[in-house]
Amino acid sequence: MTDVRVGSKTNGLAPVSVAERSLGAGAWQWAGLTTVAIAAVAADQLTKHVVTRTLPLDDSVHVVGPLSIHHVQNSGIAFGLFSSATAVVTVITSIAVVWMLVFFARSGSRHPVLPAALGLLIGGSVSNLVDRIRLHHVTDFIDLKWWPAFNLADSFIVIGVVILLAALIAADRKPRPPQRTLDVAAR
């Protein structure tokens, strides 16, 4: 039996040419992430400053419907969990922010929504982290009556996660094969 090979490769399954692109974040991705993160920190810190300067602790102002501005302090994380473990929450949040930055450095150009989504996550996390380090608590003030009070940083974190999940779900969807149409008139 004769062994016949075409081309210069000995492995017919190996691609002859491979186009590679870096998935790491480029300058534009870093600029987008930084802009979103700084805007998130600024908005959260500004609103917390306004609430702490104009509304005494535990006071509330009704806005509309179930929405009130209610000045409370939270030394824990969501729903007051780990309220006696501020140092642990600070360390875990710091590790999470560093992990997100490393992930972004390696994969920032993988999807166009990553700078915005991770910018919101990092900005919200950093803003609450600054409060935990500086004040040993965060200021929560958005009160919907049926949900524990929260702040803009918490909202940014949730929105960032929702954007990431939506992007993952959209990327995971398999494209539908084109439907074949029958041209009855041509027959």
Catalytic residue among 44, 140, 143, 172: 140
Catalytic residue among 44, 131, 143, 154: 154
The answer to whether 88 and 95 have CB atoms below 8 angstroms apart is: no
Instruction: Quote the Cα angle for 28-29-35, to 5°.
Output: 90
Look up 59 and say whether it is catalytic: no
Look up 140 and say whether it is catalytic: yes
Backbone angles phi, psi at 183, to 5 degrees: -95, 90
Instruction: Quote the Cα angle for 75-77-80, to 5°.
Output: 70
Rg (CA), the chain: 25
Residue with tokens 């009070």: 149
Residue type, 44: D
Supply the residues annotated as catalytic: 140, 154
